[in-house]
Amino acid sequence: MLTTLEALLKPRRVVHAHCDLPCGVYDPAQARIEAESVKAIQEKYQGNDDPAFRARALDIKEQRAELVKHHLWVLWTDYFKPEHLEKYPQLHELFWKATKEAGAAKKSEDPAQGQKLLDAIDEIAKIFWETKAA
Protein backbone atom coordinates (compact mmCIF):
# COMPACT_ATOMS: atom_id res chain seq x y z
CA MET A 1 0.00 0.00 0.00
CA LEU A 2 2.86 2.37 0.74
CA THR A 3 4.23 2.00 -2.76
CA THR A 4 0.82 2.91 -4.20
CA LEU A 5 0.70 6.01 -2.02
CA GLU A 6 4.24 6.93 -3.03
CA ALA A 7 3.30 6.48 -6.68
CA LEU A 8 0.31 8.78 -6.24
CA LEU A 9 2.38 11.46 -4.56
CA LYS A 10 5.37 11.29 -6.89
CA PRO A 11 5.44 14.25 -9.29
CA ARG A 12 4.65 13.33 -12.85
CA ARG A 13 6.95 16.00 -14.18
CA VAL A 14 10.04 17.69 -12.72
CA VAL A 15 10.46 21.37 -13.52
CA HIS A 16 13.38 23.69 -12.89
CA ALA A 17 13.48 27.41 -12.27
CA HIS A 18 16.48 29.70 -11.96
CA CYS A 19 15.08 31.42 -8.86
CA ASP A 20 12.98 30.37 -5.91
CA LEU A 21 10.07 32.68 -6.77
CA PRO A 22 8.88 34.27 -9.98
CA CYS A 23 11.53 36.77 -11.00
CA GLY A 24 9.27 39.76 -10.65
CA VAL A 25 9.93 39.88 -6.91
CA TYR A 26 13.58 40.87 -7.25
CA ASP A 27 14.48 44.48 -7.93
CA PRO A 28 17.50 46.60 -6.98
CA ALA A 29 15.08 49.50 -6.47
CA GLN A 30 14.50 48.27 -2.92
CA ALA A 31 18.17 48.81 -2.07
CA ARG A 32 18.18 52.13 -3.93
CA ILE A 33 15.18 53.50 -2.04
CA GLU A 34 16.88 52.77 1.28
CA ALA A 35 20.14 54.30 -0.02
CA GLU A 36 18.25 57.43 -1.08
CA SER A 37 16.96 57.64 2.50
CA VAL A 38 20.51 57.32 3.81
CA LYS A 39 21.70 60.21 1.65
CA ALA A 40 18.68 62.36 2.50
CA ILE A 41 19.27 61.79 6.20
CA GLN A 42 22.95 62.70 5.79
CA GLU A 43 21.85 65.95 4.13
CA LYS A 44 19.30 66.74 6.85
CA TYR A 45 21.88 65.93 9.52
CA GLN A 46 24.25 68.50 8.02
CA GLY A 47 21.53 71.16 8.06
CA ASN A 48 20.43 70.75 11.68
CA ASP A 49 22.27 71.52 14.92
CA ASP A 50 19.70 70.06 17.34
CA PRO A 51 21.42 67.22 19.25
CA ALA A 52 18.19 65.25 19.68
CA PHE A 53 17.40 65.49 15.96
CA ARG A 54 20.93 64.47 15.04
CA ALA A 55 20.87 61.45 17.37
CA ARG A 56 17.58 60.26 15.89
CA ALA A 57 18.82 60.88 12.35
CA LEU A 58 21.91 58.76 12.99
CA ASP A 59 19.82 55.92 14.37
CA ILE A 60 17.47 55.93 11.38
CA LYS A 61 20.35 56.26 8.91
CA GLU A 62 22.07 53.22 10.40
CA GLN A 63 18.86 51.19 10.14
CA ARG A 64 18.39 52.19 6.50
CA ALA A 65 22.01 51.38 5.64
CA GLU A 66 21.52 47.93 7.16
CA LEU A 67 18.42 47.47 4.99
CA VAL A 68 20.49 48.39 1.92
CA LYS A 69 22.87 45.56 2.78
CA HIS A 70 19.96 43.17 3.28
CA HIS A 71 18.39 43.99 -0.10
CA LEU A 72 21.74 43.71 -1.87
CA TRP A 73 22.43 40.30 -0.33
CA VAL A 74 18.98 39.05 -1.32
CA LEU A 75 19.76 39.99 -4.92
CA TRP A 76 23.23 38.46 -4.76
CA THR A 77 22.21 35.20 -3.10
CA ASP A 78 18.71 34.63 -4.50
CA TYR A 79 18.57 36.25 -7.93
CA PHE A 80 22.02 36.15 -9.52
CA LYS A 81 23.15 32.72 -10.68
CA PRO A 82 26.46 31.26 -11.93
CA GLU A 83 25.56 32.01 -15.55
CA HIS A 84 25.21 35.70 -14.65
CA LEU A 85 28.63 35.67 -13.04
CA GLU A 86 30.10 34.05 -16.15
CA LYS A 87 28.68 36.84 -18.31
CA TYR A 88 29.43 39.60 -15.77
CA PRO A 89 32.59 38.60 -13.89
CA GLN A 90 32.66 41.98 -12.12
CA LEU A 91 29.46 41.17 -10.19
CA HIS A 92 31.22 39.83 -7.11
CA GLU A 93 33.37 42.96 -6.88
CA LEU A 94 30.34 45.22 -7.43
CA PHE A 95 28.38 43.59 -4.63
CA TRP A 96 31.40 43.64 -2.33
CA LYS A 97 31.90 47.35 -3.06
CA ALA A 98 28.21 48.21 -2.62
CA THR A 99 27.89 46.40 0.70
CA LYS A 100 31.11 48.07 1.91
CA GLU A 101 29.62 51.45 0.90
CA ALA A 102 26.48 50.60 2.87
CA GLY A 103 28.67 49.80 5.86
CA ALA A 104 30.49 53.10 5.42
CA ALA A 105 27.12 54.88 5.26
CA LYS A 106 26.35 53.64 8.74
CA LYS A 107 29.40 55.54 9.99
CA SER A 108 29.26 58.67 7.83
CA GLU A 109 27.22 61.85 7.96
CA ASP A 110 28.60 62.99 4.59
CA PRO A 111 26.08 63.07 1.71
CA ALA A 112 28.96 62.51 -0.74
CA GLN A 113 29.44 59.10 0.83
CA GLY A 114 25.70 58.46 0.41
CA GLN A 115 26.09 59.29 -3.28
CA LYS A 116 28.88 56.69 -3.57
CA LEU A 117 26.43 54.12 -2.22
CA LEU A 118 23.80 55.14 -4.77
CA ASP A 119 26.35 54.96 -7.58
CA ALA A 120 27.39 51.44 -6.53
CA ILE A 121 23.77 50.29 -6.49
CA ASP A 122 23.21 51.81 -9.92
CA GLU A 123 26.07 49.72 -11.34
CA ILE A 124 24.43 46.58 -10.02
CA ALA A 125 21.01 47.69 -11.28
CA LYS A 126 22.37 48.15 -14.80
CA ILE A 127 23.53 44.54 -14.90
CA PHE A 128 20.34 43.33 -13.21
CA TRP A 129 18.18 44.88 -15.93
CA GLU A 130 20.43 43.49 -18.65
CA THR A 131 19.88 39.99 -17.22
CA LYS A 132 16.11 40.57 -17.09
CA ALA A 133 16.08 41.56 -20.77
CA ALA A 134 17.96 38.41 -21.78
- Model confidence over 69-100: pLDDT tens digits? 999 999 999 999 999 999 999 999 999 999 99
Higher-confidence position of 8 and 99: 99
**Residues 95-133 pLDDT 10s:** 999 999 999 999 999 999 999 999 999 999 999 999 988
**Residues 9-45 pLDDT 10s:** 677 776 555 555 555 578 999 999 999 999 999 999 9
pTM: 0.82
Whole-number Å distance between alpha carbons of 15 and 13? 6
User: Which positions ≥6 away from 122 have C-beta within 8 Å?
Assistant: 32
CATH of domain 27-133: 1.20.120.400
- Give the pLDDT score at 71: 96
User: What would the 3-class secondary structure string for the chain be?
Assistant: CHHHHHHHHCCCCCCCCCCCCCHHHCCCHHHHHHHHHHHHHHHHHHCCCCHHHHHHHHHHHHHHHHHHHHHHHHHHHHHCCHHHHHHCCCHHHHHHHHHHHHHHHHHCCCHHHHHHHHHHHHHHHHHHHHHHHC
